[in-house]
Amino acid sequence: MGRGTETYETVLVDVDKGVATLTLNRPDALNAFDTTLDREFHEAMWALDADPEVRVIVVTGAGKAFSSGLDLSSGGAALAGAEAEHESELGLTADAIPERSAFWKMRTPVIAAVNGAAIGAALNVALLMDIVIVAEDAKLRLPFNRIGVVPDANATWLLPRLVGTQRALELFWTGRFFTGAEAAELGLALKAVPKDEVLTTALNLAREIATYASPAAAGLTKELVYKFLMETDRNAAFALETKIIFWLGQQPDAMAGVMALMGKSEPTWQGSKHAEPPKD
């Protein structure tokens, strides 16, 4: 494997040729999010986004599960209030929580490799990532209404956009189990594959992006896609897109990409994923 980054207690991080693999590492607890894992996961994610050498992040779980969701084993609050208590223990306000989980604001492509069960908050966190690869037989569930709360992690905004209003409400209201295969059919995931192929599939995709997509262009493409989800002015979107194309076309990576494409070779990129076009 490649070079490691910081050492954490509950997550493993490895970086190899521009691809970072972040593994939720509490297998004995099915990678349930306690306060330590929650904090370290978010710290590691943003550290990887800040690292100019990291071109793609792949997130997976150790052992047989991706994550069973919020860790309720310590007791304390009633189930309906457990998540609020969990966030309170982290010292987070209602305004701060969305910012730390806004992976769509990262310039780094993020792929979830859902290798097993993903329940509640864990599934919603995976859906915050750009692409989801899931095990065909993974058990998935959004049981929030069954414990007296609404779905978290932006799910009420995101899920209807992924699968449509009726399907989203059915999954929210019933809180039923569904499989990774069904998730792919519904549009929650890009594809479902056999369990032992999930991480390999995600890493192969990550390596292709890391090698052949310009970091600057990939980062700005991600920014535009998410920005335009909330843009109602099509002409304004067209104008901004065109402005950025013109600017990127003047950068060294444009020529490097054309030459590599014509020569059927791997490009050598110079631009940063955090590149900023001129504002005027």
Q: Is the pLDDT of residue 12 over 50?
A: yes
Q: Is the pLDDT of residue 48 over 50?
A: yes
**Hey, which CATH number is domain 3-210, 3.90.226.10, 3.30.365.10, 3.40.50.1110, 3.20.20.140?**
3.90.226.10
pLDDT at 74: 56
Distance CA 120, CA 31 (A): 13
| Reported confidence tier of residue 99, pLDDT bands at 50, 70, 90 | confident
Please report the DSSP string for 82-106 in residue order: HHHHHHHHTT--TTHHHHHT-GGG-
**Identity of residue 158:** L
Distance CA 275, CA 108 (A): 12
Domain edges within the chain: 3-210, 213-263
Name residue, tokens 């998935």.
Answer: 140
pLDDT digit string, tens, across residues 188-227? 999 999 999 999 999 999 999 999 999 999 999 999 999 9
Q: Is the pLDDT of residue 4 over 80?
A: no
pLDDT (mean) for 227-243:
96
pLDDT at 276: 94
3 state DSSP class of 58: strand
Distance CA 134, CA 126 (A): 10
Percent over 70 (pLDDT), the chain: 89
pLDDT (mean) for 226-248:
96
Distance CA 103, CA 19 (A): 16
**Average predicted confidence (pLDDT) for the chain:** 91
